[in-house]
Amino acid sequence: MNYEGLHWIDTTIVIASVLLAIGVGIYFAKRQNSTEAYFAASGNIPAWAVGMSMFATIISSVTFLAYPGSAYSGNWILLVQGLMVPLVLLGVIGFIVPLYRRVIKLSTYEYFERRFGAFARFYSSIAFVLEHFSKMGTILYLLAMAMVAFSGGINITWFIISIGIAVIILTYFGGMEAIIWMDVIQGFLLIIGGIMAIAMLFHLTEGGASAILNIAAEHNKIDFGPYAWDFTQLTFIVMVFNGIFYAIQKYGTDQSIVQRYLTARTDKSAKKASYLGIMLSVPTWALFMFVGTCLFAYYQINAGDLPSGIKSDEIFPYFIATEMPIGITGLIISALIAGAISSLDADVNCISAVVVEDYYTRFRPKATDKQKLLVGRISVIAIGIGAILIALLYVAWGGEGVLGTLFGLYAILSAGIVGIFLLGLFSRRANWQGLYIGIAAAILFTAYAVLTTTKFGNDPDAGIILDLEDWNFKHHTYMLGVYSHLIVLVVGYIASLFFKTPLADKELTIYGYLEEKKNKIKNKILHL
């Protein structure tokens, strides 16, 4: 696709939005004089801002580009994953948040060590780092591909490097405090960008909103099926199970979210922030799904306006570049960039926190806070460069099926982590011996599933690495992570029964929370 390129007004708006991010980082630089300030904003951020930051971290350029593309080519089935988030978490955030604020200093995976030993900490933290490096590369790639389309031929390599450098500067200087306040701005921009796109589609589509809804209904675009009880295909039930574990993974085991619990002033504020982040995310996911549906209706009516061979992920950028008025185009592109930066800066900061807390501090236990802060800043630079390199690899590989790849990587690279968390949380009887057996079983299963479904290279006729024919793993990729979590949970618990160990500290499980809650109720009754 060849576009004429952005108008200078739009270009100015886009450049200004990137410079704003850099400026915010520099503005907060003087306050970043300790690891607590750098990684947790000294625990002094209001609940609404923390909630907006959680929301902006989860809603990225993937949402902005890939969700409309998915809804355009299919239906809303991928939204099912997001719908599981409030259903699962509104009942459990109440004890997950105070648990982490009570038992960890900075790293999520400190809880894993306190519950099951050092290996559990290393295993889970490494899985987190690998997952988020793949995520950062995907986000940068998606953003760069969109900007190539918008600009009419911008050099993709230099764009990836430029955005990567902006993220590094923001994170290096401003720390978590700058990230959160920038996320607030970026979160609002993202929502406004989606609303503006829909408003323009309503305006430009002959017949307006009613025509869009009629066409959507005629083609079953606002649908969550197929509904068959089938785990081999992308079905409603597959996304339900995937979404349940996705919700627990993000809010129960993901450093980028858990770290934000620590930035709030109190347990109550952290809970409020979590509820806000959850409740903002689902409507926004739906908003961008609806953008894709509107695009489908618009190009059904104006079929001749769409270039032949255009990919579904490219349609929204094409519409923005060709149909949006000057100024509005720049604002929407700025929202797109904002969504990417809000996820990237969070990932860079939280991976840096893991490097400092889970690895450097372990090998240098007597290191001063000043030394830890220095290592954290150096890590930010290294992590940012790593993300840039991964994005460039995506460019070299062609980046086919980005959204599917992203969800698949989430499933594979986080395999078993939720199982570890749930096992530690709900069973005092579970021990490290049983857990290690559960992890080993999950690794063996994951290896079998990957090897029996992965082809040599990109050739469609290429053979499978380990072809066991009828014994190959046949279920959908999204189920791989689900099975791995369940294997760790079930096998880990059963294996634990064969080892005699003391019961885990009640304070590290849900039973400590339940006992505390019971005592509070008793005290209230006594004082009536």
CATH code, 332: 1.20.1730.10
Note down the domain range covering 520: 415-528
Rounded distance, CA 360 to CA 376, Å? 9
261 with 330, same domain?
A: yes
Structure tokens at 221: 């675009």
Helices in 219-266 by DSSP H: which ranges? Answer: 236-248, 255-261
Taking CA atoms, 437 is separated from 122, 428, 444, 447, 518, in Å, by 16, 17, 11, 15, 35
Total number of residues shown for the chain: 528
256 with 386, same domain?
A: yes
Amino acid letter at 90? L
Tens digit of each residue's pLDDT, the chain (528 residues): 445 667 889 889 888 988 988 888 888 888 888 999 999 988 889 999 999 999 988 887 778 778 999 999 999 999 999 999 998 888 788 889 999 999 999 999 999 999 999 999 998 998 888 888 888 888 888 888 888 777 766 788 888 999 999 999 999 999 999 999 988 988 888 889 899 999 999 999 989 999 999 999 999 999 998 999 999 999 999 999 999 998 998 899 999 999 999 999 999 999 999 999 988 999 999 999 999 999 999 999 987 778 887 888 888 888 888 888 889 888 888 888 888 888 899 999 999 999 999 999 988 999 999 999 999 999 999 999 999 998 888 887 765 445 445 544 555 555 689 999 999 999 999 999 999 999 999 988 988 888 888 776 556 666 787 888 889 999 998 898 899 999 999 999 999 999 999 999 999 999 988 888 888 888 877 776
Rounded distance, CA 478 to CA 242, Å? 6
116 with 185, same domain?
A: yes
Per-residue model confidence (pLDDT) at position 460: 64
Of 411, 437, 453, which residue sits at a domain end?
A: 411
334 with 470, same domain?
A: no
Residue 226 lies in a domain: yes
488 with 373, same domain?
A: no
Residue 1 lies in a domain: no
Residue 36 lies in a domain: no
Residue 92 lies in a domain: yes
244 with 311, same domain?
A: yes
Beta strand spans in 17-81 (E): none
Of 411, 430, 460, which residue sits at a domain end?
A: 411
Per-residue model confidence (pLDDT) at position 412: 57
Per-residue model confidence (pLDDT) at position 347: 92
CA angle 112, 114, 119 (to 5 degrees): 55
Helix (H, G, I), strand (E, B) or coil at 45: strand
Per-residue model confidence (pLDDT) at position 297: 95
Residue 39 lies in a domain: no
The residues, ordered by sequence, that sit 6+ positions from 342 with a Cβ below 8 Å of its Cβ are 53, 56, 57, 59, 60, 182, 183, 186, 187, 190
Helices in 91-249 by DSSP H: which ranges? Answer: 93-103, 109-116, 118-151, 156-204, 208-218, 236-248
The residues, ordered by sequence, that sit 6+ positions from 151 with a Cβ below 8 Å of its Cβ are 3, 5, 6
Rounded distance, CA 317 to CA 154, Å? 14
Place of tokens 């955030």: 93
Of 327, 367, 337, 374, nearest to 352 (Cα)? 374
Are 109 and 358 within 8 A, CB to CB?
Answer: yes
263 with 373, same domain?
A: yes
353 with 468, same domain?
A: no
Residue 41 lies in a domain: no
Cα atoms in the Cβ-side hemisphere of radius 13 Å centred on 393: 12
Of 393, 411, 429, which residue sits at a domain end?
A: 411
Structure tokens at 441: 């079983």
206 with 125, same domain?
A: yes
Residue 3 lies in a domain: no
Are 144 and 338 within 8 A, CB to CB?
Answer: no
Amino acid letter at 99? L
Per-residue model confidence (pLDDT) at position 1: 47
Q: Which run of H or of E encompasses 489?
A: helix 478-496
382 with 419, same domain?
A: no
Q: Give me the phi and psi of 45, to 5 degrees please.
A: -105, 135
Per-residue model confidence (pLDDT) at position 323: 87
Residue 445 lies in a domain: yes
171 with 305, same domain?
A: yes
378 with 495, same domain?
A: no
The residues, ordered by sequence, that sit 6+ positions from 58 with a Cβ below 8 Å of its Cβ are 250, 257, 277, 281, 343
Number of domains comprising the chain: 2
